[in-house]
Structure 1
Amino acid sequence: MVDKVVTRDKFNGKIEYFLTSLSYAVGLGNVWRFPYLCYRNGGGSFFIPYFLSLLFLGLTFFVFESSIGQFTSLGPLHVWRMTPIFKGIGYAMFLMCTFVGIYYNMIVAWSIYYLYNSFLNLKNVPWSHCDNQWNTLNCLEDGKNVTGSVNETLSPSQEFFYYNVLNKSSGIDQLGNFQPHLVICLAISWFLIFLGLLLGAKSLGKISYFTAIFPYVMITALLVNGLQLDGSGDGIMHYIKPNFTRLGEISVWSDAGTQIFYSLSICLGGVITLASYNPFYNNTIRDSAIIVVCNSLTSIYAGFAIFSVIGFMAKQINKSIDNAADQGVGLAFVAYPAALSRLSMPGIWSIIFFIMLITLGFGSQMTLVETMIANLIDFWPEKLQRRKPFVLALVCVIMFLGGLPMCTQAGVYILQLMDTYSVPYSAFIISFFEVIAIAWVYGIDKHLDNMRTMMGFNIWPRLYWKLAFKYFAPQS
């Protein structure tokens, strides 16, 4: 292990740390994953397990990771010199960060392609009708099959996503050809990441003023527009209507805990990295609590914007909201674009929506890449500290190449495979060993004393945080 002192970048003030951490935590999952989980798991009653998970799992781990990052001023690889036998946690975080960064930027690339098409077709976006060259006999437009009579039908929005954006094959074993438009969009997204991180934490902090604030402006614009649409009230009621009988199902509580990990991006190393750029004497509990609460309120707020428009679309096509709203990426790239296509000047609203997605994606992605860079520089500081732009460029190129298989016709299957298995199980395992390493081996009392040294006052209530770090977090 390298013991040389590493000169760390620092944020220019607490606002930059707060906005960067908020931008990292608030990502694409806040827009599509949380609203879907909420109405699938009992609507408003899902808030109960969600906020309990937030209190005992999300807040605890965010404070936990922030405090060790700030105290050591080290990245995820070397922060575990506090308990050297657990240094494998840092390598696991690095690998998770790599996998997530590779497929996460592919979703941003899809958004860039949608944005490009929105600019080209302000009045009649291509996913609003069945007159395109990629449409099939299955295309169903406004309740009428305009190209033939078949049993299984798809909407124009579905066909645009499946047959134009992805041109997907029949399965993951059929890679097919590279899609040139996706390769170009992926290259653009990685080039923008490179430019955004060229000056390290300083540029990351400055860009966060945009990536953290702009999505709220866009969500508000979409919500105000959505509330004026016929059927928006039905969509919102479907989103928040409680079904308390669902609270007896273990899957509901599991989804709540998993969403907290996804939403806050804990156990990926990003929280530790950002905290390591903080001044040593900083109130990490206060900052963490504000970030965690703002992140969760953003998820709820975005849900109102999403389902106000989904309710409108459901009424337009005479379907139930359950059938109108797809899961996961389908909500962002099928259902919501289809709803926007029914508005006047759909291209303008689509531009707003996809700029919002791109901004949310970049806010999280830049922290993931910065975490990888910090890990590498901490590992070889004497060689890489002065060559950070080269390291950044090399990482971006390697991760771009790693994402190329997702630009093939089987790309969506690869992405779904990585999304399903790269985070949920790994994050829970990593979090368990994090608790063992610090709370049990290093010593929870010693760690709380470290936090007192940083913040300048006794942690209150000390007993609560002691129980939370040692028992509540791993039990959750």
Structure 2
Amino acid sequence: MTRERRRRENQMKDGNRGQWANKTEYFLVVAGNVVSLGNVWRFPYLCYKNGGGAFLVPYGLLAVVCGIPLFLLESSVGQYTQEGFITCWRKLCPLAQGIGFGQLIISLCFFIYILIEAWALLYLVFSFRSQLPWASCENTWNTAQCLSLQTSTNVTANQTNTTSAAIEFWERRVLAMSGGIEELGSVRWDLALCLLACWVFCYFSIWKGVRSSGKVAYITATFPYVMLMVLLIRGLTLPGAWQGVYYYLYPDLNRLANLKVWIEAGSQIFFSYSLTIGALSVLCSYNEYNNNCYKDCFWFCLLNSETSFVAGLVVFSVLGFMAQKQGVTVDTVVESGPGLAFIAYPQATAMMPLPQFWTVCFFLMLILLTVDTHFVIVESFITTVIDLFPKLLRAPLKHKIFVLIICLSSFLIQLTLVTEGGIYVFQLIDFYGSTRVCQNFIALSQCVAVGWIFGADHFLNIIEDMTGQRPSVFFKLCWKYIIPLLLLISFILYLVDYKHLRVNNWYVYPDWAYALGWTMTLSSVLMVPLWAAGQMCLTPGTFRQRLSVLCRPAENPTGRGGDKFGTEDICSDSLV
């Protein structure tokens, strides 16, 4: 046992949180978290849908003025306070601790994305069959309207009353979709076993905290890049590939006048950079105080955006090949979300020589991309709860038991997602639990708490003390003015353009489901004002005195820099 390992284990026994074993493990875990499923299907689809290469303009601009500043804010807060995403606000601005509770609810909603991992695992199992089941109509679940892969290449795009074998496999075999959320039906036990396997892997990835998750990341964060490069080379050598690449990158500059394009670009930044869910703060809280999080921020954001761009090349080169094979245009074979990952791409790989090999490569990449994000979100949730109750849960044995309880209870609750009506539950939580309103409000609250209450200048001083580099005044302007203004505009446009969720453009949820959805949305949004109001009522003194106490840090984080940063008078004079 090395001296460093003894030191880390002694820290855990003494009740300390510990730190990353080395910078490499930290980099791999954060990289695995920010590079996820959204890079493979969400970014390429949005780019295609919103003007091709023209989408890169709002995406790049919003990455600079929103993505990077918020990434730096969240990572710096975690590294400075060395706490989870709830207790970190106690050490910055107790009045804003409701932000952390709102993030806790959003992170719970993000637990559902393990279902995508379970779907991919089931597809991976079927990929080893000699005849891929989504390529033919000779299966028990197929209907008379089924169109096999061989037949579909000879039909026109306008043929109606037919369904591709890939769609029937997805809807009738994998999901076995019922008529709606009112008809949950029975549990799909093959999917349930896949879900159980995913939760077991998650448990053993995080049961020892960052000591185990850092080791797992050596595989889960690097292997997807190997698969991505393999699929890119194969995709670009397919006939018709460049037709798809051209469709992906061709700029339709007229689309830049559409505000919806800019909103979806901003939504993609939040989604792919893992902003507002608390994961970045938790991961960076295990860093040493003097880690250069300022430089890391730029590298992580650059890695994420470049991966999204390359993933677009992979996806659309294959879709171009598929369009040529079927004699249709690219826009008739691409769909967003699960449609792209579980219908279009599997169908395309089935057309290639050695289809099993390429399908295995794709779904292995998909699983590992999802694994990283999932276990980081669960680890962030667990770390945050343990930081709330350190004496009760931080001991190594208690930590392992608590992780087991969280994973087991999550699996049992998520059995509803693998029923025949589970896809309706999944999409309801996805649409309302982690909607743009939740993330925008949390981001706005963070900017107000750090930029106006704690003080942007104080925060820049802290980053300079930690990293030895003072961030540009541009970040101060973003936190105080630019990001809040953009988020308010986005929120107003969301309300103006709001439409109820529908599945497959025809299924309308019952009223109680929409009420449940809005309850999920408001539960995270209202945490911020309700916590602030509650603390103002419980704190003794005049209104001014209470506000002064709640705006001032409860304690000096990490025991450093208190006098230097003026934490005794940290509350902004404009507010108190």
TM bucket normalised to smaller: over 0.9
Q: Contact 2:149–2:347 at 8 Å: present in 1 too?
A: no
Q: Does 1:125 align with 2:132?
A: yes
State the SS of the aligned residue for 1:309: helix
Counterpart of 1:84 in structure 2 is: 94
Say which of 399, 405, 410 aligns to 1:388.
Answer: 399
What is the aligned partner in structure 1 of residue 107 from structure 2? Answer: 97
Check the 8 A contact 2:460/2:471 in 1, yes or no: no
Note if contact 1:143-1:317 (Cα within 8 Å) is conserved in structure 2: no
Shift of 1:473: 2.1
Q: Secondary structure at the match of 1:343?
A: coil
CA distance in 2, matches of 1:393, 1:453: 39
User: Structure 1 residues 262, 145: CA separation in 2 closer, same or farther (over 3 Å shift)?
Assistant: closer
Structure 2 counterpart of 1:136, one-letter code: T
Q: Is it true that 1:140 corresponds to 2:147 in the alignment?
A: yes
Kindly provide the amino acid, as one letter, of the partner of residue 429 in structure 1: F
Match of 2:168 in 1: 159
Counterpart Cα distance in 2 of 1:402 and 1:472: 40
The structure, 1 or 2, with the larger RCO (C-alpha pairs under 8 Å, 6+ apart) is 1
1:445 to 439, 454, 457: 457
> Is the Cα contact below 8 Å between 2:231 and 2:314 reproduced in 1?
yes
Aligned residues: 464
Contact kept, 8 Å, 2:117 with 2:370, in 1: the verdict is yes
In the alignment, which residue of structure 2 is the partner of 1:416? Answer: 427
| Alignment deviations for residues 293-328 of structure 1 (CA, whole Å, 9 cap, x no partner) | 100100000010111111111111112111111111
CA distance, structure 1, for counterparts of residue 477 and residue 439 of structure 2: 21
Aligned to 1:405: 416
Matched with 1:297 is 306
Change in CA separation of 1:266 and 1:6 when aligned onto 2, cut-off 3 Å? farther
4+ residue stretches of structure 1 with deviation over 2 A?
142-146
Q: Which residue number in structure 2 is paired with residue 32 of structure 1?
A: 41
Letter in structure 1 aligned against 2:242: G
- Matches of 1:223 and 1:182 in 2, distance apart? 29
Q: Distance in 1 between matches of 2:15 and 2:433?
A: 30
Q: How does 1:274-293 map to 2 (within 5 A)?
A: 274-293=283-302
| 155-164 or 465-474, larger mean C-alpha shift | 465-474
In 2, Cα distance between equivalents of 1:77 and 1:53 = 27
Unaligned runs of 5+ in 2: 1-13, 154-158, 487-576
Name the CA distance, whole Å, in 2 between partners of 1:145 and 1:108.
Answer: 29
Counterpart CA distance in 1 for 2:203 and 2:440 is 30
* Separation in structure 1 between the aligned mates of residue 421 and residue 351 of structure 2, nearest angstrom: 30
Q: Distance in 1 between matches of 2:47 and 2:197?
A: 34
RMSD of aligned residue pairs (Cα, Å): 1.5
Map of 1:184-223 to 2, 5 A cutoff?
A: 184-223=193-232
Distance 1:360 1:7, change over 3 A: same
Write the distance in 2 (CA, Å) between the matches of 1:336 and 1:396.
Answer: 31
Q: Distance in 1 between matches of 2:102 and 2:416?
A: 23
Counterpart contact for 1:111–1:358, Cα < 8 Å: yes
State the shift of 1:9 in Å: 2.5
Matches of 1:430 and 1:460, distance apart in 2: 23
Over 3 Å counting, the alpha-carbon distance change for 1:23 and 1:373 in structure 2 is same
> Quick check: 2:135–2:149 contact (8 Å CA) kept in 1?
no
TM-score, structure 1 length as denominator?
A: 0.95
Give the share of equivalent positions with the same residue, in percent. 38
Unaligned runs of 5+ in 1: none
Hey, what does 1:429 align to over in structure 2? 441
Could you tell me which amino acid in structure 1 is paired with residue 444 of structure 2? F
- Distance apart, 1:151 and its partner CA: 4.3
Matched-pair contact (CA < 8 Å) for 2:137–2:165: yes
How far apart in 2 are the matches of 1:438 and 1:253?
25
Provide Cα deviations, 1:102-146, integer angstroms capped at 9, x if missing partner.
Answer: x10011000010011112x1x421111110111101101246389
Distance apart, 1:167 and its partner CA:
0.3
Would the aligned equivalents of 1:134 and 1:163 in 2 still touch at CA under 8 Å? yes
Could you tell me the TM-score, scaled by structure 2's length? Answer: 0.79
Structure 1 CA distance for aligned equivalents of residues 265 and 385 of structure 2: 33
Distance 1:409-1:403 versus aligned 2 partners, 3 A rule: same
